[in-house]
Structure 1
Amino acid sequence: MKITAILLATSALALGTPAFAQSAQQSQNAGQSDDADRGVGDIIVTANRIETTAQDTPIALNVYTGADLADSGINSVRDLSSIDPSLNVSSSNSSAYIAVRGIASTDVTELGDPSVPVARDGFFTNRAYSINTSMYDVARVEVLKGPQGTLQGRNSTGGLVSIVTNRPKFKNEVSASFEYGNYDTTNADAAVNLALSDNFALRASGVFLKHDGYRRQVGVMKSADNEDFKSGRIQARFAKDGFDLWVSYQRDDRDTDGEAVLKNTLGAPQPSFDPLPAFRSDSPTRTVLKGERIRWEASYSGLGNLNLIYSGGWDKQRFDLTLDATGPNYPANRQYLNTQAPTTWNHEVRISNGKTGKLFIQAGYFRFTEDNALVAGLYNREMTGAFAPGQPLSFAPNADQSFRYGIAFDFAVKTKSDAIFAQADYDLSEQLQLSAGARYTWDNKSRTGNSRLVLPALAFPLCGNGFPAPGTCPPFPIVNSGNGKTKESKPTWHVGLNWRPESGRLIYAKYDRGYKSGGFNSNGSVAATPYGAEQVDAFEIGTKNTLMGNALQLNFAAFYFNYKGYQAQQSTCPTCSTGVFNVGSARVLGLEGQLNARVAENTKLYVNSTLLDTKFGDNIIVRNGNNQNVDISKNQLPNAPHFTASMGFEQGVPLGDHLLSFRADGKYSSSFYFSAFNLSQIRSPSYFLGNLSASIEPNAGGWKLQAYIRNVFNKNVLSFAEQNFNGFSDNYQFQPPRTYGVRASVNF
């Protein structure tokens, strides 16, 4: 009763603020505290590049164990937005971008860099289409909030999503799960760990995920939003005498028929989404993503009081998007093609001293390189014989018809980032600690290549006056250079004060300078227009409290971000692609809080919420896609709802040697805009997504059966909205509808 009274008294406060380190369920990792069986548990994280418990880490973060993710049906980073109140993932055209605390980069082109990068086992990949790949055999996912540029890679002005997979252990174990649900959903994964000796272990894991399209369409394609994903990973680990070597190889294959897009008249009021209007499909689409990645890490602790770590990796992907332009404005034999083939390398060397005295220091060097080849354009399959009258060939070198693109973009993009960094933590007393760090980054980005227009009348039937009759479109330039280059360097830093007045209580205050590199616009049909770096000064105070014998965790934070040179998208002409430009200043003010409790032996409760107030600065005029200057001063930042909250309740019922568990959870979000222009039609209405599940498992473990319903109320929740001035439409895409099924898992 005493715990219940405290929960009732604090839950109202927690609902008004949001969360840090969340673990609604016990972790199955060895990193939990000894109180896990009778408390809410604590999870070992590496948010500061060293192992600490989440509750003792002076960073705002949410943590989800592999068991948490499996029980919640989270298979990808995109799915995280359904349970994390501080995170939104917007998905469009098989690409996605992440917003944390309202901060995101919406540029998903070959030139874009995310404000919230994703690191898989410490390896950074820039491309937005890789975010949608499935996660499996995961130890935990850490969502770090606020600038992380001192210790955690590059461009992370909004935060970082860190995915940590299970590594080989020096014991034999096997785990597997199989799930079947509506939309003919099949999701199977397995992992085998073999300890071949006391020093050498192997681990192999894989996943197969397939489901039919979530949305029915009228037209050529009968459904969309389907997925067919396969992946396998093999790892090896050798550890002896202070030396630890880990190597991993993974191969991915993802195939979809594109995403269902609801189109409405450009600028018209937002239609009702209950029920959804018909999805029309005039353009069959297919996207294929194939990838290979190698990761490695070598550490050595036999240097006296020093530890040395080198981690690196290689990643090669190929992304293909094919769209048959069969709509009324295009000839039947026209296709839009987009192929990208990025190759990425990561290297980092870190050295640190053992935490034996008052001073702990870690320092290192980081290098990131990416070489990306892009070939895209409108492809004319009818160019196999004589050209039709009225559609003359205006590009003489193509007389042999060897080049069959109407419009073609052929670019090579190179990115290189180097950085040195260091951070020191010094114990001023047994309770008070000072933390200070700095990073200096050198960024280089270049693009070479051009865009070519071969058949002005045939290629892209869009002129300043709309869709003309064949042969009447005004001439376009034949070749445009897409060359561009940017080079800059910036320092970032961190200062923090951490106070631990007693065991289980942390109070911290910190200041971070964040930086996101500049670049140039991605419109290959005009000269490259550069934009500058984005800078953020972030101030945060917070407290993390473990109370009542670890039966209650109560965490709060307040933060203020001040942005200069905010990078936003705007257009330069009515028919041009949208580019990225510096639009001025912006600020973010927020509160967060979390309540995580074990009310009774088999009763768990959590509430995790975020309150945001975001706005652009004064005198900010930008040009929209209709070539009009618009004042966005004081507008709300995109992807920044004022209030979000996730909540969950789990009740276990003992049945002899088994435990029957019932779980209800959900996420509420107030309305928010997808655009800096704050247009009512490009806005997500407020929503609540609820989920239910029931499971049974033996007390000794070994297997588990679960039945689930996700999105119980079948809400049509927007995942993305935009104004498409080239297509004269407002476009809408949606999160998955109601899904249900059963899942069985075993481990031994």
Structure 2
Amino acid sequence: MRYNSIRVLMAGASLLASSAAMAQQAPTASPDNETVPDIIVTAQNRAESVQNVPIAISVISGDTLKSQGVTDFTSVAKVSPALQVTSDTTNTRVSVRGIGTLSNNEAQDQSVAVNVDGEYINRPTILNAAIFDLERVEVLRGPQGTLYGRNSTAGAVNFITRKPGDAFRVNGSVSYGNYNAVIAEGGVDVPLGDVGAFRVSGTYSYHDGYIYSPNTPISLPQFQSNDGGHRSGNDNTWGVRGSLRLEPLAGLEINASVEHDEMHIIPAVQAYQDLNAAGGCSASGFVEVGPITPGVQCVPQNTNFLSKINRGNYDMPLTGVGKFDQESTAFRGRVAYNFGPATLTYTGGYRETSNTGFNSLAPAYAFSNYGASVKTQSHELRLNGEEGRFKWQFGGFYFKELQNTNGGLYSPFIGPPGNTKGSYITYPVHPTNSQNYSAFGQAEYGFTDQLTAVGGVRYTKDTRSATFFNYGFVFNSGYVELTGTPSVAVPLHYSGDKITWLGGLNYKPNADTLIYGKVSTGYKGGGFDGSGATFRPESNTAYEGGLKLNYGPSSHNTFNLAGFYYDYKDLQNDVLLNNVTGAQTFNAGNATVWGVEAESTIRLSPRDTFTASFNYLHARYDTFIASYSVLDTTNPGNAALSTAENANLKGNRLPQAPQVVIGVGYDHVFDLGPAGRLTARAYSRFKSDYYLDFYNYRDSRQTAFTQTDLSIEYKPANGKYGLQVFARNLENIRPLVYSSYVAAGTDDIYVWQFGAPRTYGARLSIDF
């Protein structure tokens, strides 16, 4: 097989190296008289070289993010091989090493802990907020249950914003490319004497829609605002942040920021296939799954509709393109006081987010949103100390989240003859209150200068409460916000707690080598779904060992190797069985996940840097009794009324889990003498095939692909400005990022969404 050959060849190359060119943030090649600094991270709540941290971690610098055009969470994935980030219209999905959350459920959390300067962010829609003016991003792979708590079963992603500097400084950049893409970003540092500094920064991002739909939507009054638009998947985002750094006393440091960002976008419409029109159960590729039940119950196990879709040009739903408007305001602060024997640190954040609009859904629905709000606050108090060979930290964490949704699934075609109003099929209102309390501690003790033991424990308590209201089916309602008394009110409550722990040994035979091994546990809280049913927490016991090595002249080259084995229990997965109830969450049973990751940076010369990464992942369900959503010929065109069949999906691959991910990059600096320098960069990433659903349907499979980025940048000798031209995704591959088979009501359809196409342009930057 062609791709098997590629895997073998690239795997051999990966023995030389690994570390996603931009992901592990290799030092850019530089002139002979420049040194390559250590990459400093705070993954363990203290500043230390990334090569001394016994965690598989990728670090992406702010300069790399800007040069790669990373302005949102979704685009971070292209510079971090183990991180998979996709978007389903307005929801962001994150997975690390094959573990993630595919749900929109108000009472379900993400499996990856995401923090911005210590502020914990949990909701998929909020993860779409602009990511700008960053110092770096840290992607921690594997459970981080001791220091980061529950909801870090897969790992953690830390966004660290740029802090105010000591001198007056101005920096900024603006780029323009195809699809009328404009990205502008900048900031100003203003010193406040000896006491600190202030920084204000901002960003603006825009591009035309990546998808063209040739058809014209229906012209009912409620959708005339679309004005016949044929493009979707655009970007129109801006944000501003003010940051303050104060050092009023020796040992006391205060960092505070306020941030506001807004999105006003047209979500990408979904491509779809009407399975009834395609012949239903008699169509090629359908498999019967209910042979004992009268009639025929089938699923599209081996259909081949996806291959016929033009991924940039397809019909929109009859309700046209949607719209999404979101505003988010956040306040963050960190106060640290070093009083000698220890440092006491408080980190807190408060955020309010609201969004409105609607998503058009295939074939002719709209999901309205008359105001969804999320209010969160997080607080952590931590004490760190070090004495001789003993390092320790302990503290407490509190998180509170208040959510509310107001909108429903609407059809313009259900109503009296000749109607122009339409009806709501379901209209849920789900105010949900979630709280988390935890206490943690971690300590390290050096038996010798070379051998250190580490241990940690965390206790977590989760509570959730809600009353799920639903107006149900409302005939001839019109496309309006519903008020009054809902027809259904279901009070719900969940409470659970968990102890997670970490134990390991670190061995440093010399200053350039770290060998580590550890066992750790992770935990994601349980909750309840739209049907009112509760689901259990999911947990992970992880075994990991690794090597971090600096070698070569002045130890400028690195080679990192990690192997891991996960024993996952009670994985939470969602399936749409009924369009009135919505998605239901089930505990999938158990899964085994194991893999190997290698990464290397080789400085071939003072002006040449080679980077490469190799990730192999085996992620399969051991036991998983799942419910099928079936097309039922007993109830033609009314599959939702049939009994969903059950099946054991043992052996199926986890979603968003490519077995092989390879990255290879090369930087070369052309020294132009007094005229400056020219830096050429090339980076290519390969992903083997993966599924977007746990059923492993053929039409939910993304085949293996490669994407390549090229750029060349000129900077004068003083380095005060730069001009870059770039091309990203040269192959113009638009990978599958969302897929779902829906058998609900009168519709049996397959829907898909795809990634960004080839983009190119130029970027001008300044730094004074």
The alpha-carbon distance between structure 1 residues 308 and 583, as it changes in their structure 2 partners (threshold 3 A), is same
Q: How far off its partner does 1:82 sit?
A: 1.8
Maintained 8 Å contact 2:190/2:198: yes
1:172 is matched with which residue?
168
Q: How far off its partner does 1:37 sit?
A: 3.2
1:591 is matched with which residue?
596
Q: How far off its partner does 1:478 sit?
A: 7.5
Q: How far off its partner does 1:407 sit?
A: 3.5
Q: How far off its partner does 1:446 sit?
A: 1.4
2:762 is matched with which residue?
742
Which secondary structure state, in structure 2, belongs to the residue aligned with residue 633 of structure 1?
A: coil
Task: State the AA in 2 paired with 1:540.
Answer: E
- Equivalent pairs counted in the alignment come to 696
The alpha-carbon distance between structure 1 residues 725 and 37, as it changes in their structure 2 partners (threshold 3 A), is farther
Task: State the AA in 2 paired with 1:204.
Answer: V
Q: How far off its partner does 1:169 sit?
A: 2.2
The runs of 5 or more residues in structure 1 that have no matched partner are 1-7, 392-400, 461-476
Q: How far off its partner does 1:93 sit?
A: 1.9
Maintained 8 Å contact 2:535/2:585: yes
2:446 is matched with which residue?
427
2:512 is matched with which residue?
504
2:242 to 214, 234, 238: 234
- Residue 461 of structure 2 corresponds to residue 453 of structure 1: no
1:364 is matched with which residue?
395
1:655 to 655, 672, 682: 672
1:248 to 252, 257, 260: 257
1:137 is matched with which residue?
133
Aligned partners of 2:608 and 2:349: how far apart in 1? 43
Deviations 1:674-715 (A, max 9, x none): 111111111111110111111111233111110000111211
- Residue 620 of structure 2 corresponds to residue 615 of structure 1: yes
Matches within 5 A, 1:97-176: 97-176=93-172
Aligned partners of 1:36 and 1:605: how far apart in 2? 19
TM-score w.r.t. length of structure 1: 0.88
Q: How far off its partner does 1:457 sit?
A: 6.5
TM-score w.r.t. length of structure 2: 0.86
Aligned partners of 1:337 and 1:418: how far apart in 2? 31
CA RMSD of aligned residues (A): 2.9
The alpha-carbon distance between structure 1 residues 261 and 573, as it changes in their structure 2 partners (threshold 3 A), is closer
Aligned partners of 1:231 and 1:615: how far apart in 2? 40
The alpha-carbon distance between structure 1 residues 64 and 578, as it changes in their structure 2 partners (threshold 3 A), is same
Deviations 1:92-112 (A, max 9, x none): 021111110000011123222
1:487 is matched with which residue?
495
Percent of residue pairs bearing the same amino acid type: 28
Maintained 8 Å contact 1:95/1:128: yes
The alpha-carbon distance between structure 1 residues 742 and 328, as it changes in their structure 2 partners (threshold 3 A), is closer
Q: How far off its partner does 1:152 sit?
A: 1.6
Matches within 5 A, 1:327-406: 336-337=368-369, 339-353=371-385, 355-378=386-409
Maintained 8 Å contact 1:407/1:459: no
- Residue 717 of structure 2 corresponds to residue 699 of structure 1: yes
Q: How far off its partner does 1:342 sit?
A: 0.6
Deviations 1:101-131 (A, max 9, x none): 0000111232221001211111111110122
Task: State the AA in 2 paired with 1:718.
Answer: L
- Residue 575 of structure 2 corresponds to residue 579 of structure 1: no
1:638 is matched with which residue?
655
2:307 to 257, 262, 272: 272
Which secondary structure state, in structure 1, belongs to the residue aligned with residue 67 of structure 2?
A: helix
Aligned partners of 2:177 and 2:551: how far apart in 1? 40
The alpha-carbon distance between structure 1 residues 728 and 381, as it changes in their structure 2 partners (threshold 3 A), is closer
Q: How far off its partner does 1:513 sit?
A: 0.9
2:521 is matched with which residue?
513
Deviations 1:123-175 (A, max 9, x none): 11111012222211100000000111210243110011110001122222110
1:463 is matched with which residue?
none
Q: How far off its partner does 1:733 sit?
A: 1.0
2:456 is matched with which residue?
437
Aligned partners of 1:740 and 1:277: how far apart in 2? 17
Aligned partners of 1:42 and 1:584: how far apart in 2? 43
Aligned partners of 1:272 and 1:411: how far apart in 2? 38
Maintained 8 Å contact 1:149/1:157: yes
1:628 is matched with which residue?
645
- Residue 27 of structure 2 corresponds to residue 26 of structure 1: yes
The alpha-carbon distance between structure 1 residues 599 and 409, as it changes in their structure 2 partners (threshold 3 A), is same
1:543 is matched with which residue?
547
Aligned partners of 2:347 and 2:18: how far apart in 1? 37
The alpha-carbon distance between structure 1 residues 430 and 318, as it changes in their structure 2 partners (threshold 3 A), is same
Deviations 1:592-641 (A, max 9, x none): 000111111111110012101111114x3210222121220111111111
- Residue 326 of structure 2 corresponds to residue 285 of structure 1: no
Deviations 1:170-207 (A, max 9, x none): 22211010111111111111100111211121100000
Maintained 8 Å contact 2:468/2:492: no
Maintained 8 Å contact 1:454/1:478: no
Aligned partners of 1:190 and 1:38: how far apart in 2? 27
Q: How far off its partner does 1:671 sit?
A: 0.3
Matches within 5 A, 1:77-96: 77-96=73-92
Q: How far off its partner does 1:665 sit?
A: 0.5
Maintained 8 Å contact 1:45/1:51: yes
1:465 is matched with which residue?
none
Aligned partners of 1:42 and 1:600: how far apart in 2? 18
1:5 is matched with which residue?
none
2:633 is matched with which residue?
none
Aligned partners of 1:664 and 1:27: how far apart in 2? 12
1:415 is matched with which residue?
434
1:606 is matched with which residue?
611
Maintained 8 Å contact 1:18/1:611: no
The alpha-carbon distance between structure 1 residues 94 and 323, as it changes in their structure 2 partners (threshold 3 A), is closer
- Residue 538 of structure 2 corresponds to residue 534 of structure 1: yes
The alpha-carbon distance between structure 1 residues 441 and 12, as it changes in their structure 2 partners (threshold 3 A), is same
Aligned partners of 1:335 and 1:516: how far apart in 2? 29
